[in-house]
């Protein structure tokens, strides 16, 4: 009897198990529906780049604005290209930095170097910047307090702040020259006892050699150097 019970219970258990396994699928409602519409996010991108040309003018001499503007070997350019897929407002600042940083005590510096600065957007007409114009330059020292709008690290020598909202090419051009009206760096000296041939240091030997003995006055201008780099700081402008 006991065996019968055990057998019955076992059979029932097996049946219950089978029902449980098989019957479960019938015990719940299931549906698998696959949509036909695809929802997609493709990321856009924003790229900015500056293709630079630099200048290195050796042994320059002071010149007028018209001469400096007409010169062809003193122009630095940055072709600022913005490539954008998507919509984004980007604010950017363009500045000179490390201005004369290597030789700050030279006889030429920010007070006697001039610049003509302009930009052309998508090959459009020139827009003059920093106070310069088509016919005149601006002394570099007038830019010292010009700070950036979008890049807080730019606290001086900012030359342009702008917003770009699509793909664009802006060519920045900066021409530099030593101002002919600059007086700094010019030294005057006089010497009451001088021979036209410095070999001779007293009047008798100087004149005996057929040279001129007298007083001399000298105006001189020491050489020096001026340099700068470009910095651009851009950031997304959230509306």
Partner 1 sequence: MFEEIEPKKKKSILLPILSIFVLIAAISSVAVAVWNWTYTSSNANSITTGNISMSLLESTDVINITNAVPMTDEEGKALGAGGKFDFAVTTSTTGAPGNMVYSISITKLAASTGYTVLPDNNVKVYLTTFDGSDETVVMSPTLVSNIITSGDTGTLTFDSGKESYLTHNHTSAGVNHTTKYRLRMWVDENVDASSWNENTKYEYRLKINVSGSLTA
Smallest distance from partner 1 to CB 136, Å: 18
Q: Which is nearer to partner 1, 49 or 167 (CB)?
A: 49
Binding site for partner 1 (CB under 8 A): 46, 48-50, 52, 54-63, 74, 76, 88, 90, 92, 97-98, 102, 107-108, 113, 151, 174, 176-178, 194, 196-197, 203, 210-236, 238
Residue 17 or 212 with smaller CB distance to partner 1: 212
Pick between residue 54 and residue 127 the one whose CB is nearest to partner 1: 54
Produce one character per residue of 2-19: b if its CB has 16 or more CB atoms within 10 Å, e if not.
eeeeeeeeeeeeeeeeee
- Selection from 154, 139, 177 nearest residue 61 by Cα: 177
Smallest distance, Å, CB 228 to partner 1?
Answer: 6
| 190 Cβ contact list (under 8 Å, min separation 6) | 215, 216, 217, 218
CA–CA dist 224, 184 (Å, integer): 12
Our CA dihedral for 228, 54, 113, 81, rounded to 10 degrees, sits at -80
Does residue 151 sit in helix, strand or coil? coil
Q: Which is nearer to partner 1, 23 or 229 (CB)?
A: 229
Q: How far is the CB of 52 from partner 1 (least distance, A)?
A: 6
Least distance to partner 1, CB of residue 121, Å = 18
């Amino acid at each position: 009897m006991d065996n019968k019970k055990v057998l019955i219970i076992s059979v029932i258990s097996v049946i219950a198990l089978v029902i449980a396994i098989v019957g479960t699928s019938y015990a719940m409602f299931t549906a698998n529906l696959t949509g036909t519409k695809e929802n997609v996010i493709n990321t856009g991108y924003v790229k900015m780049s500056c293709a630079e040309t630099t200048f290195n003018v050796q042994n320059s001499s002071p010149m007028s604005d018209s001469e400096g503007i007409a010169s062809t070997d003193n122009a630095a350019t940055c072709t600022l290209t913005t490539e954008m897929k998507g919509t984004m407002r980007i604010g950017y600042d363009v500045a000179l930095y490390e201005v004369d940083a290597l030789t700050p005590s030279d006889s030429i510096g920010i007070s006697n170097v001039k610049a003509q600065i302009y930009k052309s957007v998508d090959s459009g007409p020139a827009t003059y910047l920093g106070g310069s114009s088509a016919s005149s330059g601006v002394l570099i020292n007038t830019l010292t307090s010009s700070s950036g709008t979008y890049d807080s690290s730019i606290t001086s020598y900012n030359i342009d702040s702008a917003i770009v909202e699509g793909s664009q090419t802006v060519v920045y051009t900066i021409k530099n020259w030593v101002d002919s009206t600059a007086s700094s760096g010019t030294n005057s000296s006089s010497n009451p006892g001088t021979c036209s041939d410095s070999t001779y240091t007293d009047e008798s030997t100087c004149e005996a050699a057929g040279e001129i003995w007298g007083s001399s006055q000298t105006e001189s201008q020491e050489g020096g150097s001026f340099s700068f780099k470009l910095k651009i700081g851009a950031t997304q402008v959230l509306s």
